[in-house]
Amino acid sequence: MKKPYYITQMGILERRGNTLFFENENLKRAIPVNSTSEIHCFKPVTLTSGAIKILSEKNVPVHFYNKHGYYRGSYMPVEGQVSGTVVIKQAEHYLDPEKRLYVAKQFVEGIKASMVALLKAHKANYKVISEVEIEGNSPAELMGLESQLWKEFYGLFASLLRHFEFNERNRNPPRDEVNALISLGNSVLYTIALSEIRKTYLHPAISFLHEPLERRYSLSLDLADIFKPVTVFRVILRLVNRRQIREEHFRKDVGVMLNDDGLRLFLSELNSEFARKVLHPRFRRNVSIRYLIRLEGYSLVKHFLGDSTYRSLRAWW
């Protein structure tokens, strides 16, 4: 299985022969591009024309983040999986209000189930969320309901944290340690979802719960939200409650952000979580949590083509 490659220093990506290198004043490191799913750059990184060529040949996207961990853009090679038929059907489901509403409801059901799964695992009061009926007459109404679910979830999540306070969700920039972790984790999950969507025939800009907007891949937001509680929030709870991540892993600038040591620690734990395998109840085999995101994309393709009816993932682990 290919793995993401994280760059946490300033430098240059360049090609020498058939090898991709990351270089700066202090190091020169070969990147195993044949076994790399995508590259994440958390500091300013320059791509040479040679680097872009080999990244295109190997179909490896590069994602860029600002100093607070917010996603800023990607270099995306020519799409590896393209199907005009699927994109047309996907667009038809977006343009049909009833069909769009069905898919959007499924996304919110999946989000709710993932929240419940995490809260159950930590013996928290999940019923305040599990008893919410997912009803709405438009994607906007469903977005409002989703916001209420997150508000309830944040309060319950805060009660599980032992060493940091978390009073409210804030961003742009995050004003405390937990919000810094959430913002960075969500950004990484968003780009992982984007990379997995590219391996299906779906168009990442045609979404159903979030409104499609210019300059964003909003279907990635739809799918990423389903997995947030059982990936990003699970990792944060583990690191904070085990005191693996502490006050000294953060620095204050304009807002709060991880320092270099904290960034490497958090990314390593996130990567391990995405790679963790769980027994799939239908396939009867172990699959990585990251691969579950791609399976969600495949399920949508089948739904758009009329081969089966989409039911969003209900987290069981």
Q: Mean pLDDT, the chain, as a whole number? A: 95
Share of the chain above pLDDT 90, in %: 90
Mind listing the pLDDT tens digit for each residue in 246-294?
999 999 988 999 999 999 999 999 999 999 999 999 889 999 999 999 9
Position 91 pLDDT exceeds 80: yes
Model confidence at 309, in pLDDT bands (50, 70, 90)?
very high
Which pLDDT value is given to residue 80?
A: 60
Which pLDDT value is given to residue 232?
A: 99
Which pLDDT value is given to residue 127?
A: 94
Position 231 pLDDT exceeds 70: yes
Q: What angle separates helix 97-121 from helix 218-227, to the nearest 10 degrees?
A: 30
Domain 84-305 CATH (choose: 3.40.190.80, 3.30.565.10, 1.20.120.920, 3.40.50.12640): 1.20.120.920
Mind listing the pLDDT tens digit for each residue in 4-57?
999 999 999 999 988 999 999 989 999 999 999 999 999 999 999 999 999 999
Which pLDDT value is given to residue 1?
A: 79
Residues of the chain with CATH 3.100.10.20: 3-75
Topology of domain 3-75, CATH = Ribosomal Protein L15; Chain: K; domain 2 (3.100.10)
In the structure, how many helices (H) and strands (E) does the chain have?
10, 12
Evaluate if pTM is beyond 0.75: yes
Q: Can you list the alpha helix ranges (DSSP code H) found in the chain? A: 49-57, 84-95, 97-121, 127-130, 139-160, 177-197, 218-227, 232-241, 260-275, 289-305
* Higher pLDDT, residue 68 or 236: 236
Determine the average pLDDT of the residues in 155-168: 94
Determine the average pLDDT of the residues in 45-71: 94
Which pLDDT value is given to residue 213?
A: 78
Residues of the chain with CATH 1.20.120.920: 84-305
Position 157 pLDDT exceeds 80: yes
User: How far apart are alpha carbons 235 and 276 in whole angstroms?
Assistant: 12
Which pLDDT value is given to residue 214?
A: 66
Which pLDDT value is given to residue 294?
A: 97
User: How far apart are alpha carbons 296 and 196 in whole angstroms?
Assistant: 9
Determine the average pLDDT of the residues in 205-209: 97
Model confidence at 308, in pLDDT bands (50, 70, 90)?
very high
User: How far apart are alpha carbons 237 and 243 in whole angstroms?
Assistant: 10
> 35: exposed, middle or buried (C-beta count within 10 Å: 0-12, 13-18, 19+)?
exposed
Mind listing the pLDDT tens digit for each residue in 106-117?
999 999 999 999
Mind listing the pLDDT tens digit for each residue in 76-87?
988 667 789 999
Task: Answer yes or no: is 210 a known binding residue.
Answer: yes
Which pLDDT value is given to residue 114?
A: 98
